[in-house]
Structure 1
């Protein structure tokens, strides 16, 4: 009786808060409905990863095959190549694409001329709004071995034109550099917003003590935005094994496929083009489980070093 009475009294304040602030919860409702309809209900279809899905029989009518599709993927001759390509591109992206917006935001925050600052922001934000299809088309034009301006510069200095998009060894550098160009300005916005929340009195006190700009960045700005950096780092690690297949697929061709074939392009080809739905679902489930494990491990690591964590 006492336990039941305690539970009822504990739940009453929460219920009162919901009733009192019902307008706020009403605003939250569309988001909850969206996630429930588009994120949770589709998880019902994950069971086809453990079935031999036959469209005419439906999900329930298809026979169970257990871990057969997973075993097939792990035993595939492409497995290690897919893992290597995916992890290498993700690693390079994390090493270069992630810290550059932080450095850019720290540098831009030191600019005092408002007009120049706005021009720089506009120029660096613009590539984010270019569609992936147009962006890849621009990459092919810029890197063309016959009339691309990059190869024209190489020829100007006496070099031999390079067929960048037809060389497997050039795929990763081109992908990462284009990613940096497209995302740096936009990704820096959140760091610039975090920098504005730092108390100006800290900088004033540091200047009185004779601290240089570099020392103020090192000891005030970076620690001030560290919680934001850690949250975004955890989120980045959370999709470490997932690469947006659209850009990779558009840049891919028969000459560079040895380094450009990643898990998501393989899933697209086997699942949608090859109609091997169960096999593709199994690969997708493996990918998401790997991402979830990395997310939890990174979150625990952030807690261990006493930094901001997601949960």
Structure 2
């Protein structure tokens, strides 16, 4: 299968390598070129996925996606609104598109842009990326763990079953269905994990775990209020990746993730005092605001209301 991976950070590069390992024809694109300028036609990885993988490096978004049968988007939330608008204009045909991870409700935003052009590709959101990865000092991508399973939600909901098959074909890992993209966005654990790591008092045994469980309980309450019950538990999401990741999440991404969850809590009338407090403490410490979530700021009210109503 011809696959385009948009985003050449450690996670995107690891997914590109994993897709190559599975025998797919992979093109990698970096918005600023920083993740690909050191590459020729090979992407090197080490760790649990070791090797040199033959890829194409695209100079622009159109060349990256023009022949793709599947597109994997691994971009930070702040970059997504502008790039998704460009992607909707650049798309040829209707390739399947996966967001890894979900980045809030980014698939709904791409749906909005694509529908304005008169076509709607099948869109999916992964709750977690298939690999944990960082980049070594020498530029080589270090894959520290592959997840034993993945979760995907689709837009529309009926697309989820087909996207499960696609994701398994891409990455060779078992995949479980989530109801839709909102379930995937709520499940994404990165912001909660990093917030707990930052805010837990040092030297207090199990403080990170207790704070993380408290934040996750509020996430579950938001899920229940919006009809997304049975979300994967935070303990499984962390332990199945081998514990807390060595690679630290950028503060802006952590803040955006908390802002998304706070917005979903507010919209569903669900109290989330820990999430709100964590967001406000980090904003105060950083001297900047992390809300509104960039995807939510660009999303029209109608699609959000339908998702919150279970549609």
Scaled by the length of structure 1, what TM-score is found? 0.23
More strand by share: 2
More helix by share: 1
Q: Which of 1 and 2 has greater Rg?
A: 1
Q: Which has the higher contact order (CA 8 A, sep 6+)?
A: 1
